[in-house]
A = this chain, B = another copy of it.
């Protein structure tokens, strides 16, 4: 199969009809006609750059394992402990499960994924190894970045730091972290350790911060201080950041100022039941915002489809986006925002970029988001990987 292809009769970002000419896996030009042997008719669909899933947990979805009846307790720590126990009894194989989710994501037009992968003293590096095997096996389907993630706590579980160190040495690209106060109980120690690993390996940071209100603001300050002190501007993401959804502008506005100054990115899922970062205000300050599905049908809850167009709708609904340009902003979060956080080179729907393209029905970009109809075609580096909502590669 060649990586040369022309897709005719598409509307890039719902603009005028055009053909996209792909040579050697890259967009060579966007314009009229077709002079290549292999041409596909896009049927007038909207063409978008490949969707970017910038926050998920590939190693522990239960997709395809039969229905799991949910009964975990209400607190975050209940869900963490419940999950660690169920990993043993349910047999959640990270390689198999990550492969299943990746195939599902590809069917929905996702071409890049950043996945947090659990590292703890019980599973050790099995999650990292499993997801790395999947990454290799599906390398033509999706680009995958791995965050070494201390889901069960880091300092509070001795031995975890050494495992994270090994995960990074093995090829995990990003240093993860989690609730420096609420879970790890030692905010200074936690953040210092995360940044020490980042410095040792020259890697970016992505910290889960569920902590609300003043506690979350304090942890965020610790992260921002180290970002500046270590010159890591542009290399740090704070995921969830519920504290930015607090109603107190006197608390939130200084944090937004500091995020903008330190060039720290925010990941939000657009959570309906939690305080959520104000996407428009963050973007207006030039802060990079990305999004992700978070856990998909895992032991934490039954939701999740791996569809980043639906996710853009959730972000729009959560932020009360009604105007077309606002919904387009939500989509940009799920495309270019994620690409920026992942440091992707050559991402976009312009000549010179990798030919990672998704075709979707809709009169406007906003209609494509709110309808999120099955994707007509998904192209990864110039090769067709999904058609009519179905991936061409099988899941295990």
Contact = CB atoms under 8 A, between A and B. Distances in A.
A327 interface: yes
8 contacts: A67-B362, A70-B324, A71-B324, A271-B317, A273-B317, A273-B320, A302-B316, A305-B370
Contacts of A91: none
Minimum-distance CB pairs A-B, first 5:
A273-B320, A67-B363, A301-B322, A272-B272, A272-B317
B367 A67 contact: yes
Interface string A153-182: 000000000000000000000000000000
B272 A302 contact: no
Nearest to A369: B302
A233 to B, nearest CB: 31
Contacts of A319: 273
A103 to B, nearest CB: 16
A66 interface: yes
A149 interface: no
B303 A313 contact: yes
Contacts of A318: 272-273
Interface residues of A, number: 36
Interface of A: 66-67, 69-72, 270-274, 297, 300-305, 313-314, 316-320, 322-324, 327, 362-364, 366-367, 370-371
Contact of A67 (B304, B322, B366): B366
Counting every copy of the chain, the complex holds 2
A26 B150 CA distance: 56
Given A69-B364, A302-B370, 8 more contacts: A67-B366, A70-B324, A273-B319, A273-B320, A302-B316, A302-B366, A302-B367, A305-B370
Contacts of A371: 305
Main DSSP-derived SS at the A contact region: loop
A318 B270 CA distance: 11
A67 B363 CA distance: 6
A370 to B, nearest CB: 5
Contact of A317 (B303, B316, B364): B303
A264 to B, nearest CB: 25
Most chain B C-beta atoms within 10 Å of own C-beta, residue among A272, A313, A314: A272
A146 B59 CA distance: 50
Contacts of A67: 362-364, 366-367
Contacts of A304: 370
Contacts of A302: 316, 322, 324, 327, 366-367, 370
B322 A300 contact: yes
A70 B272 contact: no
A304 B317 CA distance: 10
B70 A322 contact: yes
Contacts of A370: 297, 302-305
Contacts of A300: 322
A281 to B, nearest CB: 14
Contacts of A303: 313, 316-317, 370
A317 B310 CA distance: 14
A321 to B, nearest CB: 9
Contacts of A297: 370
A63 to B, nearest CB: 11
Contacts of A71: 323-324
A267 B118 CA distance: 41
A378 B301 CA distance: 29
Contacts of A323: 70-71
A363 B364 CA distance: 35
